[in-house]
């Protein structure tokens, strides 16, 4: 360590690096960056000449840097070498002891939002400990940092706001977005999750406060998919909000006017997409999240030609649901083509899933897509989507307008269509009523019921309702988690049908292969990889998804199959192709274990 309290990366490269304890042991297999003092990839060669040159710190600055801070886990030697003497109490804790203490403290909070805030504080204080906690306690902490609690956090974001997380790009930044991107401290970005806050979960327009979603999704990219935190960038685009309650709330953190639309909106998005590619290169993955459907489909169609883009709500959800359906065939029998599907909700999630099911059936049976789509029916707020409504339908609904007489409510649609699978993607809670579930149970020995809407308050029904009303015959999964249910002496474990199973591994697959575009074949590969991870033990409990406890292994398999597909399609730029892609994906994953600083 040089005697100054901070040293620039340039200085380190000029000679003091090796003596400063570079720890290459747990470096990444990708990224190609320069290692900083602590063994992190921090900046690429050309970034060294930018005015934002990287510096590392010691003393109190080190303690306040969440990326490198280890709190009480700094060793005696590190305390000496890094000017920490006296800044910490004498005790030295292992990371495991810190973890035990934090879990104990977290469990004292009875209000979920308080747990969320405690986790965000930890992320801002000690990043590795945050990820260690999340990875080691994933089933317990997912509902805290993700759905359902993240929904409440977004609703109250203005009130609970402490330190800013992520990058805010508002209409005020029009014409300056590239400069805004350059203000972000990290230069090597591999994944951006971006929202404009208009459809946050099933909670509607939360404007700028939607930031909780990209922050939460990216923490899962790291914890579940092993993408390193420094290469993840959460972004919220603020074009205003139509949420009157927020506009009138004195603590609202966003622009205080109605949403910009049309040309003004499109130009801001265009500038952002252009700047992101210019600043981070063409291999940066841009994940669109929780946009309203009147923008989401158009943005995906427009930018999938020129950028590496992925819409989680349309594509990630489709892939996770298809995986559950493929797995469920072990329980319900038949092939996918033998089933009939009915959706409540014909938006991003509903039509996205429908299309991927139709594609998979078409792939399996060689039947044309127009035919396989006919096995799938959707209900929107106006009733069953049928051909007589064609003229007034939004573009993304048109492929689902089959010949049938008009049907108004869901119950009548169930009776008319006689589906084997019922999927809720409406964003409206309690819409799978007792009559609807009973009708499904009267039609099927094992009705498959997926209540995808988030958060829990918007779930189409609860796990208990699904099992009780079907007399224990339903196979059930939901977007937000439910506890196991005991019905007539038997314990039923509901699965979580959430795109969180897919996007972390999917993104990792794109990154490790250096993919330049996303294709439907990759989504199908991800579905098949996830379905293959469901074990007999899971099926015995009625599960159609594996538990999240194994998610890193699952993500490695998804990543490997997505990467393999990218290579097969000629869309991978990282050559040569690694032989064992699963091992390679695992070797690329971020580890939250502390590094030793010499
Ligand atoms: N589990 C998971 O992984 C995921 C879950 N979701 C959840 O799915 C829900 C929907 O998301 P998304 O598809 O993006 O939203 P959209 O707004 O795109 O679509 C909602 C659809 O539901 C329909 N709808 C609304 N109210 C009713 C009603 N009372 N009866 C019948 N249909 C109704 C709408 O009808 P109309 O078109 O007529 O307005 C629309 O077709 C959200 O709660 C979201 O959290 C989303 C992505 C992933
Ligand atoms: C899970 C998710 O992406 C959603 O509810 O929007
Ligand atoms: Mg979403």
What's the rounded mean pLDDT across residues 547-567? 98
Which ligand is located closest to the Cα atom of residue 424? 1
**How far is C-alpha 178 from the chain's CA centre?**
25
Confidence of residue 28 (pLDDT cuts 50, 70, 90): very low
ipTM of the complex: 0.99
A 10 A CB-CB count for 125 gives: 16
Instruction: Tell me whether residue 416 is exposed, middle or buried, using C-beta atoms within 10 angstroms of its C-beta: 0 to 12, 13 to 18, 19 or more.
Output: middle
- Write down how long the chain is: 598
pLDDT in tens, 441-472: 999 999 999 999 999 999 999 999 999 999 99
List strand residue ranges (DSSP E) for 144-275, in order.
167-170, 191-195, 232-238
Asked if 186 contacts 44 with a C-beta cutoff of 8 angstroms, the reply is no
Ligand 1 pocket residues where CB is under 6 Å: 199, 201-202, 293, 313, 317, 320, 344-350, 379-382, 425-428, 431, 452-454, 458, 479, 497-499
Asked if 294 contacts 211 with a C-beta cutoff of 8 angstroms, the reply is no
Q: How far apart are CA 439 and CA 433, in angstroms?
A: 10
Confidence of residue 17 (pLDDT cuts 50, 70, 90): very low
Judged against a pLDDT cut of 50, whether residue 7 lies above it is answered with: no
What's the rounded mean pLDDT across residues 566-574? 98
- pLDDT computed for residue 252 by the predictor: 97
Confidence of residue 598 (pLDDT cuts 50, 70, 90): confident
- pLDDT computed for residue 14 by the predictor: 27
pTM for the complete prediction? 0.92
Q: From the alpha carbon of 199, which atom of ligand 2 is closest?
A: 6
Q: From the alpha carbon of 500, which atom of ligand 2 is closest?
A: 1
- pLDDT computed for residue 57 by the predictor: 79
Q: Which of 497, 499, 503, 548 to probe ligand 2 with, by most ligand atoms within 8 A of CB?
A: 499
102 CA → ligand 1 middle, Å: 37
What percent of the chain has pLDDT above 90?
A: 90
What's the rounded mean pLDDT across residues 176-185? 98
pLDDT in tens, 299-314: 999 999 999 999 999 9
pLDDT in tens, 270-284: 999 999 999 999 999
């Amino acid at each position: 360590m040089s005697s100054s309290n901070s040293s620039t990366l340039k200085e380190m490269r000029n000679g003091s690096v090796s003596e400063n304890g570079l720890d290459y042991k747990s470096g990444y297999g990708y990224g190609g960056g320069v290692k900083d003092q602590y063994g992190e990839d921090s900046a690429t060669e050309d970034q060294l000449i930018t005015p934002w040159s990287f510096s590392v710190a010691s003393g109190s600055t080190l303690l306040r840097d969440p990326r490198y801070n280890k709190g009480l886990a700094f060793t005696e030697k590190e305390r000496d070498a890094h000017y920490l003497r006296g800044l910490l109490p004498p005790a030295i804790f292992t990371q495991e002891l810190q973890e035990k203490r934090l879990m104990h403290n977290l469990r004292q909070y009875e209000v979920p939002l308080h747990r969320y805030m405690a986790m965000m504080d930890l992320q801002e204080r000690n990043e590795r400990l945050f990820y260690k906690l999340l990875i080691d306690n994933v089933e317990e902490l997912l509902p805290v940092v993700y759905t359902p609690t993240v929904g409440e956090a977004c609703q109250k974001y203005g009130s609970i706001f402490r330190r800013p997380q992520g990058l805010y790009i508002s209409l005020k930044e029009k014409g300056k977005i590239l400069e805004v991107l350059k203000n972000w401290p990290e230069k090597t970005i591999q994944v951006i999750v971006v929202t404009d806050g208009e459809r946050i979960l099933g909670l509607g327009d939360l404007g700028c406060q939607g930031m909780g979603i990209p922050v939460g999704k990216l923490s899962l990219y790291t914890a579940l998919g092993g993408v390193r935190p420094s290469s993840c960038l959460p972004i919220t685009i603020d074009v205003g909000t139509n949420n009157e309650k927020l506009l009138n709330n004195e603590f609202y953190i966003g622009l205080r006017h109605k949403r910009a639309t049309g040309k003004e909106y499109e130009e801001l998005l265009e500038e952002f997409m252009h700047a992101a590619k210019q600043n981070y290169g063409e291999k940066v993955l841009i994940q669109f999240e929780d946009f309203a459907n009147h923008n989401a489909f158009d943005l995906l169609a427009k930018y999938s030609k020129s950028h590496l883009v992925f819409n989680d709500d349309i594509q990630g959800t489709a892939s996770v649901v298809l995986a559950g359906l493929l797995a469920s065939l072990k329980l319900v029998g038949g092939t996918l083509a033998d089933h009939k599907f009915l959706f409540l909700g014909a938006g991003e999630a509903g039509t996205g899933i429908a299309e991927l099911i139709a594609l998979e059936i078409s792939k399996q049976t060689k039947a044309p897509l127009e035919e396989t789509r006919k096995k799938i029916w959707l209900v929107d707020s106006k009733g069953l989507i049928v051909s007589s409504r064609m003229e007034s339908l939004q573009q993304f609904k048109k492929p689902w307008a089959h010949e049938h007489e008009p049907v108004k409510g869901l119950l009548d649609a169930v009776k008319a269509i006689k589906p084997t699978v019922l999927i809720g993607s409406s964003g409206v809670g309690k819409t799978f009523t007792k009559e609807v579930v009973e009708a499904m149970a009267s039609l099927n020995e094992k009705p498959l019921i997926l209540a995808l809407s988030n958060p829990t308050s918007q779930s189409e029904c609860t796990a208990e309702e699904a099992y009780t009303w079907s007399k224990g015959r339903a196979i059930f999964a939901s977007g937000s988690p439910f506890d196991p249910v005991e019905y007539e002496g038997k314990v039923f474990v509901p699965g979580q049908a959430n795109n969180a199973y897919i996007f972390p591994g999917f993104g990792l697959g794109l990154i490790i292969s250096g993919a330049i575009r996303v294709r439907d074949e990759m989504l199908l590969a991800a579905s098949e990889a996830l379905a293959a991870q469901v074990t007999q033990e899971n099926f015995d409990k009625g599960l159609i998804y594996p538990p999240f406890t194994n998610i890193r292994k699952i993500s490695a398999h998804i990543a490997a199959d997505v990467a393999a597909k990218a290579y097969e399609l000629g869309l991978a730029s990282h050559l040569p192709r690694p032989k064992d892609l699963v091992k390679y994906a695992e070797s690329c994953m971020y580890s939250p274990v502390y590094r030793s600083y010499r």
